């Protein structure tokens, strides 16, 4: 078999594996298989690319491989699961920058015309704005940049004007590719727009932003495929871009919001009502009380949130799950689409603790079960359990689908304090007669509950 045949076969197999990977990753039971298929597909794509006749020297590639491995391997092994959203944002940033730099190199080397020049403009525009936008998202997730929306007068007008200027410069480049002096201005507009795009977006919208940036990076890669005449890049980029866009739509529906509202609405601003959170009485209980209540339950629904991720409490939840199921208690986990800071954040953390996949239920499938639940245990979740989304038309989250935690017979909430969530509003759930608060670090509180429950002999 010739090198050309091996190259073509590797690309074909890689494309098929990418498609199967996306399909398998859509279900928890086949997610591991999907990740493995994607990894093998990427390996085949790299091998096939290295066999192309255009590769004239492997020295630079080998050096880049060593540098990338030196960064990527420690990043994968040392980064905690709570920082996966930040790492994902960085991946989007680096991938988009690679696409933008390749487009830049192609422009200055060949100065193409027509369709290819249009693809370069599209690729570099999305690549540069995704690069800086992803870095801003990383900064907000890491709290290097304030997580609250940073809003100033006429912000949306300025942003749209800047984007319009970038598009106009790009159109001029398509019409007159020889005007090389215009390209740095075009790139600068795109880079600045990426920063300003994320500044007014609050922490509550980060799951949608992560998915949207993923879509942009994928579309940039697809455009790069047209520039380089690489069909595998077109396929992989289109899969990435379309799946990210669909995921963004799912996230917006989960919050009952539109793209324009996410990008320009500054949803994450702290509301004045939150300042009065401490003035209303709540019922506080001890881990001993919580263990006694759980011991008498028949159905317990656990609702994980970002507080669980911060406290790294998923392993304590597994211990609690084991104790309760050994006593014949039915335990289920309710997952809201935007719980945490990225799509699937809770699923990843619970899977890390080896909690069975068939015990993880999406919101639409478990909401009707809350009315039969003896106990709903909320671990660090806030806005996704707030009844104001159903009951208060004046609330900024009104209309957002929530988990029906307030329908359970008894509600227990593990929380560090009465501070509001990302939406910056008070949670009406905490002040209901059926709700009991356990204040403290989620891992420590759950550890005490597990200890007390383990010391209790069920009759």
421-430: per-residue pLDDT in tens?
Answer: 665 678 889 9
Q: Would you say 259 and 351 are in contact if contact means Cβ atoms under 8 Å apart?
A: no
Cα→Cα distances 117→169, 172, 321, Å: 13, 11, 57
Whether the per-residue pLDDT at 458 is higher than 70: the answer is: no
Please provide residue 269's backbone torsions phi and psi, each rounded to the nearest 5 degrees. -70, 140
Q: Would you say 211 and 247 are in contact if contact means Cβ atoms under 8 Å apart?
A: yes
Q: What is the DSSP string of 433-450?
A: TTEEEEES-HHHHHHHHH
Q: How confident is the model at residue 271 (pLDDT cuts 50, 70, 90)?
A: very low
Whether the per-residue pLDDT at 262 is higher than 80: the answer is: no
Position of tokens 């410069």?
169
Q: State the DSSP H helix or E strand holding residue 362, giving kind and residue range, or none if neither.
A: strand 360-362
Q: Which residues are catalytic?
A: 383
3-62: per-residue pLDDT in tens?
Answer: 777 888 999 999 999 999 999 988 777 888 999 999 999 999 999 888 887 777 888 889
Share of the chain above pLDDT 70, in %: 92
State the pLDDT at residue 77.
83
- How does strand 360-362 pair with strand 330-335? parallel
State the pLDDT at residue 234.
95
Cα→Cα distances 16→11, 230, 361, 417, Å: 9, 15, 30, 49
The whole-number average pLDDT for the span 197-201 is 85
**Residue 274's beta-bridge partner residues?**
none
Architecture of domain 277-454: 3-Layer(aba) Sandwich (3.40)
State the pLDDT at residue 279.
65
Cα→Cα distances 281→13, 208, 425, 430, 431, Å: 62, 34, 17, 9, 7
Lowest mean pLDDT across 166-170, 333-337, 418-422 = 418-422
For the entire predicted model, the pTM comes to 0.80
Question: Where do the structural domains in the chain lie, given as residue ranges?
Answer: 3-264, 277-454
State the pLDDT at residue 140.
86
Structure tokens at 258: 């539109």
**Separation of first and last alpha carbons in the chain:** 71
């Amino acid at each position: 078999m010739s090198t050309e045949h091996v190259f073509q076969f590797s690309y074909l197999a890689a494309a098929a594996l990418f498609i199967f990977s996306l399909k398998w990753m859509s279900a928890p039971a086949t997610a591991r298989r999907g990740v493995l298929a994607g990894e093998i597909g990427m390996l085949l794509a790299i091998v096939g690319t290295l066999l192309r006749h255009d590769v004239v020297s492997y020295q630079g590639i080998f050096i880049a491989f060593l540098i990338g491995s030196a960064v990527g391997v420690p990043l994968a092994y040392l980064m905690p699961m709570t920082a996966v959203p930040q790492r994902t944002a960085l991946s989007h940033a680096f991938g988009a920058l690679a696409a933008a730099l390749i487009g830049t190199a192609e422009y200055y080397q060949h100065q193409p015309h027509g369709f290819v020049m249009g693809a370069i403009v599209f690729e570099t525009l999305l690549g540069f704005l995704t690069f800086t936008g992803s870095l801003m998202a990383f900064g907000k997730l890491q709290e290097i940049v304030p997580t609250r929306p940073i809003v100033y007068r006429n912000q949306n007008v300025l942003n749209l004007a800047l984007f319009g200027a970038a598009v106009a410069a790009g159109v001029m480049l398509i019409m007159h590719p020889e005007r090389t002096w215009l390209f740095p201005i075009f790139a600068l507009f795109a880079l600045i727009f990426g920063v300003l795009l994320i500044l007014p977006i609050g922490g509550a919208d980060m799951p949608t932003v992560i998915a949207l940036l993923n879509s942009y990076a994928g579309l940039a890669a697809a455009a790069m495929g047209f520039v380089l005449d690489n069909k595998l890049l077109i396929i992989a980029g289109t899969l990435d871009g379309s799946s990210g866009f669909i995921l963004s739509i799912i996230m917006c529906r989960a919050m009952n919001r539109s793209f324009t509202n996410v990008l320009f609405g500054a949803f994450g601003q702290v509301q004045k009502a939150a300042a009065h959170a401490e003035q209303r009485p709540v019922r506080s209980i001890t881990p001993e009380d919580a263990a006694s209540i759980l011991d008498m339950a028949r159905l317990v629904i656990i609702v994980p949130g970002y507080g669980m991720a911060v406290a790294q409490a998923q392993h304590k939840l597994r211990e609690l799950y084991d104790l309760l199921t050994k006593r014949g208690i039915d335990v289920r986990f309710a997952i809201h689409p935007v719980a945490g800071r990225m799509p699937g954040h809770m699923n990843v953390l619970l899977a890390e603790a080896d909690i069975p996949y068939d015990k993880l239920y999406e919101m639409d499938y478990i909401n009707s079960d809350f009315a039969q639940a003896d106990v709903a245990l909320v671990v660090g979740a806030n806005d996704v359990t707030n009844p104001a989304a159903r009951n208060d038309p004046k609330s900024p989250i009104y209309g957002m689908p929530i988990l029906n935690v307030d329908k359970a017979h008894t509600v227990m909430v593990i929380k560090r304090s009465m501070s509001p969530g990302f939406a910056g509003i008070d949670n009406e759930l905490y002040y209901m007669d059926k709700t009991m608060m356990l204040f403290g670090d989620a891992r420590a509180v759950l550890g005490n509950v597990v200890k007390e429950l383990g010391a209790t002999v069920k009759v």
